[in-house]
């Protein structure tokens, strides 16, 4: 990618952010504010039932005596659980954004203005995909980092009241660099994993006369129902290959690849805590070696090419 192409792409990304500031910028900040507010309100209500903070301080001191592996599991696990709220809402925003990404230009007839500029159709389509795959996740990840830092500052205050060192008891077990790095890598791999769905939504958005999100849902749903009915009528069994179920499985496995490898040996105290409980580099790299990952990427790129073809022939009608 030469410098001029990069500048053009960056300008188009800024355009997308400028056109949808609420969804891309203020929504993740709003989620962060709500999580922090909920945490503060919960702590305030809890303090009313623990007037001298005796129970809270005792619990924190007991937590400080736990082995580092268990503290790592608890602290990083709580931080990751808050992050999943962002990830789920982020995915909804991305899906609705892509469904209207190419349709909105045709609906308000602004496509004529954009076509008059020295920007190719493939660059426009690429910028919208980059917005969904990189820009929106980056905005949400920044909000997640901000939320984690504020929550750890609040926890540090309680740790000081309990007479424990918040650095060794909260900040180090949180493993923030590793947690954030794995999340960032997971967001990129998630975009590759969902590329066929992203491409399908943009393909529908490039030609649908109206309501592209409903058309994008209705077509695979109709195919899936037809497959079920035909299989039941002809063989009295469910089909082995069902398009609707394939799409749902791919979408259901997309809230960041995770591994949950807890091993139990009969009792709770024999639990073996795996440091890769929530996400691991090996788990993420495992997705890159799966054949269905790259088949999906090829399908997604084919839908993207079709979206470019329809955009080139789009009019204001």
Helix (H, G, I), strand (E, B) or coil at 241: coil
The beta-carbon contacts of 51-57 under 8 Å, at least 24 apart in sequence, are 53/161, 56/158, 56/161, 56/162, 57/161, 57/162, 57/163
Please give the pLDDT value at position 192.
93
Distance of alpha carbon 283 from the chain centroid: 17
User: The whole model's pTM is what?
Assistant: 0.88
| Band of residue 245 on the pLDDT scale cut at 50, 70, 90 | confident
- What residues does each domain of the chain span? 22-312
CA 58 to chain centre: 37
Query: What string of DSSP letters covers 243-312?
Result: HHHHHHHHHHT-S-------EEESEEEEEE--TTSS--HHHHHHHHT-HHHHHHHHHHHHHHHHHHHHHH
Considering the chain, what percentage of its residues have pLDDT values greater than 90?
43
Predicted confidence (pLDDT) per residue in 76-102, tens digit? 889 988 998 999 899 999 999 999 999
Q: Is 230 exposed, middle or buried (0-12, 13-18, 19+ CB in 10 A)?
A: exposed
Residue 42 has pLDDT above 80, yes or no: yes
> φ, ψ for residue 272 (rounded to 5)?
-100, 110
Q: Alpha-carbon distance 239 to 231, whole Å? A: 6
Determine the Cα–Cα distance for residues 152 and 159; give it in Å rounded to an integer. Answer: 10
pLDDT(36) > 50: yes
Q: How many residues are there in the chain?
A: 317
Q: Is 183 exposed, middle or buried (0-12, 13-18, 19+ CB in 10 A)?
A: buried
Region 136-149: mean pLDDT is: 96
């Amino acid at each position: 990618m030469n410098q001029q192409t990069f500048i053009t792409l960056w300008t188009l990304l800024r355009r997308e952010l400028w056109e949808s500031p609420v969804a891309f910028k203020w929504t993740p900040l709003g989620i962060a504010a709500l999580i922090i507010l909920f945490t503060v309100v919960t702590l305030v209500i809890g303090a009313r039932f623990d007037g001298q903070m005796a129970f809270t301080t005792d619990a924190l001191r007991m937590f400080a005596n736990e082995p580092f592996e268990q503290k790592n599991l608890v602290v990083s696990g709580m931080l990751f659980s808050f992050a999943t709220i962002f990830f789920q809402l982020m995915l909804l925003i991305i899906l609705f954004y892509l469904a209207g990404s190419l349709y909105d230009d045709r609906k308000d007839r602004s496509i004529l203005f954009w076509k008059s500029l020295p920007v190719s159709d493939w660059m426009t389509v690429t910028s919208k995909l980059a917005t969904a795959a990189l820009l929106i996740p980056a905005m949400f990840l920044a909000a997640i980092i901000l939320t984690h830092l504020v929550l750890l500052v609040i926890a540090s205050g309680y740790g000081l009241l309990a007479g424990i060192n918040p650095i060794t008891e909260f900040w180090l077990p949180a493993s923030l660099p590793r947690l954030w790095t794995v999340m960032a890598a997971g967001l990129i791999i998630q975009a590759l994993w969902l590329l066929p769905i992203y491409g399908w939504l943009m393909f529908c958005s490039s030609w649908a006369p109206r309501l592209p999100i409903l058309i994008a849902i209705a077509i695979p749903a109709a195919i899936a129902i037809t497959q079920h009915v035909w299989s039941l009528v002809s063989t009295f069994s469910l089909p082995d290959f069902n398009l609707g179920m394939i799409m749902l499985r791919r979408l259901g496995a997309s809230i960041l690849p995770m591994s949950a490898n807890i091993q139990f040996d009969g009792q709770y105290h024999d639990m073996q805590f795996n440091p890769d409980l929530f996400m691991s580099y090996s788990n993420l790299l495992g997705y890159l070696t799966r054949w269905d990952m790259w088949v999906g990427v090829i399908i997604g790129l084919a839908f993207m090419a079709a979206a470019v073809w329809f955009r080139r022939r789009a009019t204001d009608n």
